[in-house]
Amino acid sequence: MKQELFEQKNQTHWDSFTEMLGSLEAKRKKDKKNLQSAEFPAKYRLICHHLSIAKTRGYSPQLIQQLNELMKRGHRQLYQYRNLFFYRFLEFITTGFPQSIRQNWTYIWIASAIFYLPAILLFLLVMAFPDLIYNVFDPHDVARFESMYDPTSDRIGRDRQSDTDVMMFGHYIANNIGVAFRTFATGLLFTLGSLFFLLYNGIVFGALASHLTMLGSAETFYTFVVGHCAFELTAITFSGAAGIKLGFSIIAPGLRTRVQALKESARECVSIMYGVILMLLMAAFVEAFWSSNTALAPMIKYGVGATLWVLVIVYFVFAGRANESRSAL
């Protein structure tokens, strides 16, 4: 193909790519969406292909230089966005997420109380009245849990027919994120949904722990849950706190309209939920590949579990404090 025909055939594409680059280089935020779609990378790859063709066919130095310049500009924009995404993700982990939790400490304490106090109460009640467990679970579920935490089981914390650790990892992700999302989203029902799910999960956890303790499966149960509960239980209470905040913005919007209050709360709550999902991914990984392993000594599991609890507490209490101090100046 002659150069003139090649230019006529592809000039529209080059002009379109040049216009897109101009918008991105002007740093207009709305145009950053071009990088997130498949359009920009596809156009960039086509420019690279055209440059290769021009070099192979020995087209004029001016055309090769033009295409090479477009390729270099596109490369800068493409990888600058990827680096920016990584930076923002790192900033969220080190600063944004823990700051959001501290800024909403009132809701965090409310959610924690609604979860942990019923758990403690049911633990004591089932200890005193063992048959109470059948008011929380039906007999079939009780038998299933007893089997899952049987000290003679090769893999604890799962049904005997359950397959590989990888499959369980996927199961735990789906289950945990499902619980967290329900606990959060139902807060729109004037906080009632979030309150219900926090209360329900606290009751279930306390009753099950008490029953297995009395049954003689205490070590099996606690060595299983101690590894991942720092992430999982904390994440569930955070999702409940976000749901309560969401519902409370509808109940008491203050001087704002309810729609305005809901929008403002939703932005912050969604940010918290991003962090909750990351915590649940970590919990699912530990639960699938560490918690169910019976080859590890109980003291090792207790030690790791205690360490993870300390790290989680230290992270949410201290992470991002330096940035808060600078912002206050």
In a domain, 192, yes or no: yes
CA–CA distance, 118 with 198 (Å, rounded to integer) = 9
In the chain, how many domains are there? 2
* 57 and 167 fall within a common domain: no
In a domain, 264, yes or no: yes
> Are 145 and 155 spatial neighbours (Cβ–Cβ below 8 Å)?
no
Domain extent at residue 37: 3-92
* 213 and 70 fall within a common domain: no
In a domain, 174, yes or no: yes
* 318 and 206 fall within a common domain: yes
pLDDT 10s digit of each residue in the chain, 329 long?
A: 788 888 888 988 898 888 888 887 776 544 455 454 557 788 888 899 899 888 888 899 888 889 988 888 888 777 765 556 676 788 889 888 999 999 999 999 999 999 999 999 999 999 999 999 999 999 999 998 988 888 877 667 665 445 566 778 888 888 889 999 999 999 999 999 999 999 999 999 999 999 999 998 888 999 999 989 999 999 999 999 999 999 999 999 888 888 988 988 898 898 899 999 999 999 999 988 888 777 888 899 999 999 999 999 999 999 878 655 444 43
* 286 and 313 fall within a common domain: yes
* 153 and 22 fall within a common domain: no
> Are 24 and 84 spatial neighbours (Cβ–Cβ below 8 Å)?
no
* 83 and 151 fall within a common domain: no
In a domain, 73, yes or no: yes
**Closest Cα partner for 119 from 208, 228, 205?**
205
* 9 and 152 fall within a common domain: no
pTM of the predicted model, to two decimals? 0.72
Q: What end-to-end distance do the CA atoms of the chain give, in Å? A: 65
In a domain, 84, yes or no: yes
Cα 273–Cα 279–Cα 284 angle in degrees, nearest 5:
125
In a domain, 98, yes or no: no
